[in-house]
Amino acid sequence: MVEHPPSQTRPRSPKAARPVRVLSVTSGKGGVGKTNIVANLAVTLGRAGYKVLIWDADLGLANIDVILGLKPDYNIHHLLTGEKTLAEILVNGPEGVRVMPASSGVQELSRLGEAQKMRLLTELDDFDDDLDFLLIDTSAGISDNVMYFNLAAQERIVVVTPEPTSITDAYALIKVMVTRFGQKRFGILINMVAGPKEAKNVFTLLTSVADKHLGSVAFDYLGFIPRDERLLQSVRMQKPVVLAFPESDVSRKFQELANLISRPKEGPRVDGNLMFFLKRVLKIEHEQRRA
Ligand SMILES: Nc1ncnc2c1ncn2[C@@H]1O[C@H](COP(=O)(O)OP(=O)(O)OP(=O)(O)O)[C@@H](O)[C@H]1O
Ligand SMILES: [Mg+2]
């Protein structure tokens, strides 16, 4: 496994004093493709010249660094203990994508001490000018930790597959975020489908139940990623599918997704910097502790 050198030849980032976009990729059920989606979306955005940081907040086994062919020496644990700086723990992936590696045990933001929180805040704040996208690969389910990341992110991408349990678990996640945390908007990405018809069916199934029981919630259809054996092959090659098989349908779909996501959002942004994102995480926790 090799660490990729920082890309010198990439076009300059299209960032022009625009705030960082913080997106979480999440799901009710595990194993629906979040980590693969984050890796491939990040690399596709990176190839387009955007500056992307992945925060691996996934406690599962298929970690982002494996999929990107990276072998981190350090992780967030070393940052929080003060042994390393953020710059020292980040790993350079393909197309200039940087990864903040996970460490099981220290992922629970709720368990961080004040000094650790401050460290995270100040270190990440320095990155604000050097970033277009922060993509968060969350664990599955509705644990507090997943909620923190999902609430702090500006946009949430809920990944769903046609499996009935994936749909019911996605609904359960959305329900908690709407009823307990007042979230009103979700991007929905359908994974592992044969084509657009099946994807639309899954989307309709999920959103019609949500519309019926949760009232006014906005769902943005973000398209679909086809079920494709090449994705599994690329995982075995430890190379994102968009680099291993750039001409495949699945890679084209990641390009469409990246195009859709990188389109400027309409309306004013009031919550655009990393500091705000982290403060929001910590505030949520603070409020929960008081409750
Ligand atoms: N579109 C697809 N076509 C075929 N296989 C896929 C597709 N998407 C994901 N997979 C496979 O499904 C498995 C689970 O993917 P992945 O690890 O990305 O899911 P996850 O949601 O991150 O899981 P976890 O909840 O454990 O973190 C992997 O073996 C992956 O290669
Ligand atoms: Mg994962």
Burial of 16 (0-12, 13-18, 19+ CB in 10 A): exposed
CA of 37 to the centre of ligand 1 (A): 8
Residues 20 and 274 sit within 8 Å (Cβ to Cβ): yes
Token pair, residue 241, equals 């599918």
How do the domains of the chain map onto residue ranges? 21-263
Mind listing the pLDDT tens digit for each residue in 118-133?
777 778 777 777 889 9
Question: Helix, strand, coil proportions of the chain in percent (round to 5)?
Answer: 45, 15, 35
Separation of alpha carbons 21 and 41, rounded Å = 14
- Which regions in the chain score pLDDT beneath 50? 1-2, 7-12, 16, 268, 270, 291
146 in ligand 1 pocket by Cβ < 6 Å?
A: no
Separation of alpha carbons 154 and 209, rounded Å = 24
Architecture, CATH, for domain 21-263: 3-Layer(aba) Sandwich (3.40)
Residues 137 and 25 sit within 8 Å (Cβ to Cβ): yes
Separation of alpha carbons 290 and 153, rounded Å = 22
Beta bridge partners of 157: 25, 187
Number of H helices, E strands in the chain: 12, 8
Separation of alpha carbons 102 and 119, rounded Å = 16
Distances (CA, A) of 205 to 56, 160, 164, 170: 30, 11, 10, 11
Cα dihedral sign, 38-146-180-289: negative
Residues 207 and 189 sit within 8 Å (Cβ to Cβ): no
Closest-CA residue to 223 (of 251, 248, 254, 247): 254
pTM summary value: 0.89
Separation of alpha carbons 282 and 121, rounded Å = 10
Instruction: Indicate which atom in ligand 1 lies nearest the CA of residue 27.
Output: 21
237 in ligand 1 pocket by Cβ < 6 Å?
A: no
**What ligand has the least distance to the C-alpha of 68?**
1
CA of 62 to the centre of ligand 2 (A): 6
Q: What is the identity of the amino acid at 102?
A: A
N residues, the chain? 291
CA of 178 to the centre of ligand 1 (A): 26
CA of 59 to the centre of ligand 2 (A): 7
CB atoms near residue 168 (< 10 Å): 15
Separation of alpha carbons 185 and 35, rounded Å = 22
Q: Where are the alpha helices (DSSP H) in 9-143?
A: 34-47, 64-67, 76-80, 86-89, 114-125
pLDDT on residue 104: 65
Which residue's alpha carbon is at the smallest distance from atom 31 of ligand 1?
A: 232
What 3-state class would DSSP assign to 245?
coil
Rounded to 10°, the helix 196-214/164-179 angle is: 40
